[in-house]
Structure 1
Amino acid sequence: MSKRSYFTPLSVVVVIVAVIVGYLYFGDNNTTVTERPAAAANVVGTQARMMEFRDVIEGLGTAQARESVDVMARVSQTVKQIYFSDGEDVEEGQLLIALQDREEQARVQELEFRLADGRRQLERLRELGQENAASLSMIEEQEVRVQQTEAELEVARSRLEELTIHAPFAGRLGTRQVSTGQLVRPGDVITTLDDISPIYVDFAVPELYLPSLSPGQNVAAISAAYPGREFAGQIESVASRVDPVTRSIMVRAAVENENLELRPGMLLRIELERRVDHTLMIPESAVIPIRNEHFVYKVEDERAVRTTITIGRRLPGWVEVTSGITEGETIIVEGTIRVRDGLPVSLTQQ
């Protein structure tokens, strides 16, 4: 018995016709789909704009008084009177403490009387000398006595002054450490005195920035004790030497402290303003990095146009653009993942 053939001339013709019909039908259908216009992608855009760019150097420093001194006794004596209160603001030369001074007062008065009497005798001898009634040696001896008394009086007055303690400069006093009637000795601290308006801050800056440092530059001081506030100041001086270990140089800034809110010893974060530029900036979310290049999508005639840009410095959320786009051009900041070069977009301004 011969095997039955599954392929007949008729079946072959049917298969060929089916292939041709399918190609024509589905091929035309695909062409129609390809030619159908693409739907516009919804995106959010904004304009490239000129912004202020503050080039700053940050550092940490400890606040210190412009003038600071421990007020001490210079002699051993008991406290007679106290003329200040804790934390009081005082002026230069203001009396703070008086020590017992009865003996010194009496000594000064005694020498003043002796000096006055010596001067009268000297004047009398000079008058007698003009009449040849007193010798020159007598006059010279009396002049020596007068000069000696003047020197003794000067010493007595100096010792009397040591028994009164005055503020050497204007500032704010600290806590009182003595009481009336207490015996104080040389070196005993009576109180502290600080001039803190303005207040000084010393901070280190890398030697790399040395050429851009000069007195008068603006700084801002920030303290954790006063969140959200900045205290303005200026560079007062720059050290004459670079630290060979840290390769940094010390800078001293004077920070405004009119209300005396900042105190010596506080940790301050310093922002040193090197320069202020006006430069072209765009949102950081608009930049697409690919390898070593950066791109943005501009919007032109309601279509996305991929553009190569060159970026520069950065601010939080912003990037400087040095080439590729100009001020006022609209760029896509949201929805860049849904667009391609040349595709239509539906733009919403940010």
Structure 2
Amino acid sequence: MNWPAQEEQPGQLGTGETPVVVYAASQQPFPIVVEALGTATANESVNITAQRAQTVTKVLFEDGDLVKANQPLLELSNRAETARLNELNINLTEARRQLQRIQGLAERSAASQQLLDEQDSKVEAILAQREVAKAILQELVVSAPFGGRLGVRQVSVGSLVRPGDIVTTLDDLSLMKVDFSISETHFASIQDGQSVVSTSIAYPGEIFVGKITNIDSRIDPRTRSIQVRAQIPNLELKLRPGMLLQMNLEKRVLDALVVPEGAIVPEGDRQFVFVVNGDNKAIKTQVEIGERKPGWVQIVSGIEVGQTVIVQGTLRVRDGSGVKVLDVQGDV
């Protein structure tokens, strides 16, 4: 907007008219939005740890790798356990051979039922021992419990790891959880499955859309707020655990008479606008305002649809002073 170069007293510019920009008050859909701050967490998050005390023989991942569920990440020394399994396999083969021999003798009444049962029990015992040995061997391979992105590697080949030692971290970032609190006054306006729009200062101008998945069963009596959880798809992996997100929930949509926020002139606890009448005079008019959203205000009473209010130049005019309309705006 090009204003005259020389500024004079209100109502005394050139022809005595103050240049202003006005807005034609209009009835518009006016979404009422609940705003909150939330912290992002991974859909699933875990510290990868060893289950057995043993030396690392192979590291099968790099920092930050994307991995699939059950993908091996680390191999621990398994020589003793492998030898034990081989021994059990040999013992099992021999025990089964002896069982078959005794079964043949028993069929000819040359061996007692007790001897047959004892040999059968030996076979079952070796089978159980072999399953234990296999389980131990599986525990000597550290795998990813689910798909996701790995963190920083904490071990090297030759390291001695013990149960509980952290090998790395794993986060499923394909879906982010965001926990936030809202006032109990908005409780009746939210529900499971409701859409939420979030933004992050890390990505100016970009929005991330998700939905509410859980509303806490209790309201905190100290803060009079309720905890809400939303899930946001994160297929591009832009969001990370710990990020602060601005959460916006559409509470309801009003069919409201609205004007730009710049039209409002507060005086104490009262609110005014300058209405431009047919004689190009600025008429100071008291209004009652309702809901707000960034840049816009709902007018409950005081003016009607189509009336033009000053949005630029309010500080230059007085009640009843003449104005020159430079521009008429009218779209929210």
How many residues of Structure 1 are paired with residues of Structure 2 in the alignment? 311
Task: Tell me how large the CA RMSD over aligned residues is.
Answer: 3.0
Shift, 1:292, TM fit: 4.7
Shift, 1:299, TM fit: 3.8
Match of 2:169 among 162, 170, 192: 192
1:317 and 2:319 matched: no
Match of 1:68 among 45, 48, 52: 45
Q: Is the 8 A contact 2:32 2:291 kept in 1?
A: no
Higher relative contact order (CA 8 A, sep 6+): 2
> Matches of 2:164 and 2:19 in 1, distance apart?
79
What residue is the counterpart of 1:257 in the other structure? Answer: 234
What residue is the counterpart of 1:297 in the other structure? Answer: 275
Unaligned runs of 5+ in 1: 1-37
Bigger Rg, which one: 1
What residue is the counterpart of 1:57 in the other structure? Answer: 34
Check 1:165–1:309 CA distance in 2 against 1; reply closer, same or farther (3 A cut): same
1:203 and 2:175 matched: no
Q: Is the 8 A contact 1:217 1:274 kept in 2?
A: no
Match of 1:134 among 111, 117, 123: 111
Q: Is the 8 A contact 2:183 2:226 kept in 1?
A: yes
Q: What SS is found at the alignment partner of 2:127?
A: helix
Check 1:180–1:349 CA distance in 2 against 1; reply closer, same or farther (3 A cut): same
1:283 and 2:283 matched: no
Q: Is the 8 A contact 1:298 1:307 kept in 2?
A: no
Q: Is the 8 A contact 2:22 2:312 kept in 1?
A: yes
What is the one-letter code of the residue matched to 2:24? Q
> Matches of 2:283 and 2:272 in 1, distance apart?
14
Q: Is the 8 A contact 2:270 2:286 kept in 1?
A: no
Q: Is the 8 A contact 2:271 2:289 kept in 1?
A: no
1:121 and 2:98 matched: yes
What is the one-letter code of the residue matched to 2:180? F
Match runs of 1:1-350 below 5 Å: 44-287=21-264, 292=270, 294=272, 297=275, 299-300=277-278, 309-323=287-301, 325-334=303-312, 337=317, 340=320, 347-350=325-328
> Matches of 2:82 and 2:216 in 1, distance apart?
49
> Matches of 1:191 and 1:141 in 2, distance apart?
48
What is the one-letter code of the residue matched to 1:179? S
Check 1:297–1:115 CA distance in 2 against 1; reply closer, same or farther (3 A cut): same
Check 1:347–1:183 CA distance in 2 against 1; reply closer, same or farther (3 A cut): closer
